[in-house]
């Protein structure tokens, strides 16, 4: 039987800057430190807020499954706690799934949306099986093996060649996450809704960012979303993989900065 409600949860978060609230939602299986280049690089134009999704970072407890709606509910509770009525909501990959869930639930609290290296569709049956296998592996074996296999897939070959230390940074970031958090998120992604039907009725401005060398979620997914969302712009950063904000912070922050200027 499913949960009737989620017990409120005080989200760990880091923030920097003042003004227009910009909430940055990390991907799977990361934590808020993914956004260090944006906390530093955008805090002169926004109040940049980077939470740890439930279970990630230093958090202790997490339910067996965290749906994208569960994470979105946590983010709304954080905004309420911070006295923020409306924010620009930015999510990378799984963070993008959460951002779309947030918009669906709380349109009045969404000033604009930034969807990075993500997609609107649900999992295929095969992808779903893979999620359940990842969840089992995390619980049975821990996260080190997952970190070892996932980290190289998240970065473009060009990034690894130019900045080899980044591979270790991403591997370490994944390896320190708790097995329970990784399993809960994998299971939540497996049951996430197809958000494609809502795209054509999105009425807030949307910026879509991806990397030309993202092999985990190919740029064609971003192009498809851009074609369906009325007020949207698409930026494809050359030679960048799945972690576009880390791999090319200058191009990423430049695009976000321009978008925030328009939204504000």
Applying CB under 6 A, the residues found at the interface with ligand MLT are: 27-28, 93-94, 189, 216, 242
CB of 262 to ligand MLT, least distance (A): 26
- In this complex, which beta carbon is closest to ligand MLT, that of residue 93 or of residue 245? 93
Considering beta carbons, is residue 111 or 187 the nearer one to ligand MLT?
187
Min dist. Cβ of residue 27 to ligand MLT (A): 3
Burial class (CB in 10 A: 0-12, 13-18, 19+), 233: middle
The count of C-alpha atoms lying within 13 angstroms of the C-alpha of 29, restricted to the half-sphere facing its C-beta, is 34
Burial of 164 (0-12, 13-18, 19+ CB in 10 A): exposed
CA distance 116 to 93: 6
Nearest to 35, CA basis, from 53, 8, 10: 53
Q: For ligand MLT, which is the closer residue by CB, 28 or 56? A: 28
Contact call for residues 204 and 232 (beta carbons, < 8 A): no
Q: Closest CB to ligand MLT among 186 and 251?
A: 186
CB of 155 to ligand MLT, least distance (A): 12
CA distance 222 to 69: 21
* Cα 264 from Cα 170, distance rounded (Å): 33
Q: Are 173 and 31 in contact (CB under 8 A)?
A: yes
Cβ-count burial of 187 within 10 angstroms (0-12 exposed, 13-18 middle, 19+ buried)? buried
- Name the minimum Å distance from CB 209 to ligand MLT: 14
Give the nearer residue to ligand MLT in terms of CB position, either 93 or 111: 93
Residue 72 Cα distances to 5, 95, 105, 223, 237, angstroms:
13, 10, 8, 24, 27
**Using an 8 Å Cβ cutoff, are 78 and 51 in contact?**
yes
- Given the complex with ligand MLT, which of 45 and 99 has the nearer CB atom? 99
Closest approach of ligand MLT to the CB of residue 17, in Å: 25
Q: Which of residues 28 and 259 has its CB atom nearest to ligand MLT in the complex?
A: 28
Q: Nearest approach, Cβ of 264 to ligand MLT (angstroms)?
A: 28
Instruction: Compute the least distance from the CB of residue 160 to ligand MLT, in Å.
Output: 17
């Amino acid at each position: 039987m499913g949960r009737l409600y989620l017990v409120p949860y005080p989200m760990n978060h880091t923030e920097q800057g003042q003004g227009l609230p910009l909430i940055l939602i990390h991907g799977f299986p990361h934590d808020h430190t993914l956004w260090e280049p944006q906390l530093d690089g955008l805090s002169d134009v926004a109040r940049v807020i980077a939470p740890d999704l439930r279970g990630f970072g230093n958090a202790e407890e997490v339910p067996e499954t965290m749906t994208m709606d569960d994470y979105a509910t946590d983010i709304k509770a954080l905004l309420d706690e911070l006295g923020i009525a409306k924010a620009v909501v930015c999510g990378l990959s799984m963070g993008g799934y959460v951002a779309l869930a947030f918009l669906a639930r709380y349109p009045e609290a969404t000033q604009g949306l930034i969807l990075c290296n993500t997609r609107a569709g649900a999992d295929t049956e095969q992808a779903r099986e893979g999620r359940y296998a990842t969840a089992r592996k995390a619980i049975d074996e821990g996260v080190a093996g997952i970190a070892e296999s996932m980290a190289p897939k998240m970065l473009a070959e060009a990034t690894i060649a130019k900045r080899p230390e980044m591979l270790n940074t991403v591997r370490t970031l994944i390896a320190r996450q708790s097995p329970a958090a990784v399993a809960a998120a994998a299971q939540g992604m497996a049951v996430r809704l197809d958000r494609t039907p809502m795209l054509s009725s999105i009425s807030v401005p949307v910026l879509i960012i991806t990397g030309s060398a993202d092999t985990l979620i190919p740029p064609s997914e971003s192009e498809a979303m851009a074609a369906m969302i009325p007020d949207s712009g698409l930026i494809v950063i050359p030679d960048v993989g799945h972690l576009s904000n880390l791999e090319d912070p200058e191009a990423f922050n430049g695009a976000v900065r321009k978008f925030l200027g328009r939204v504000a």
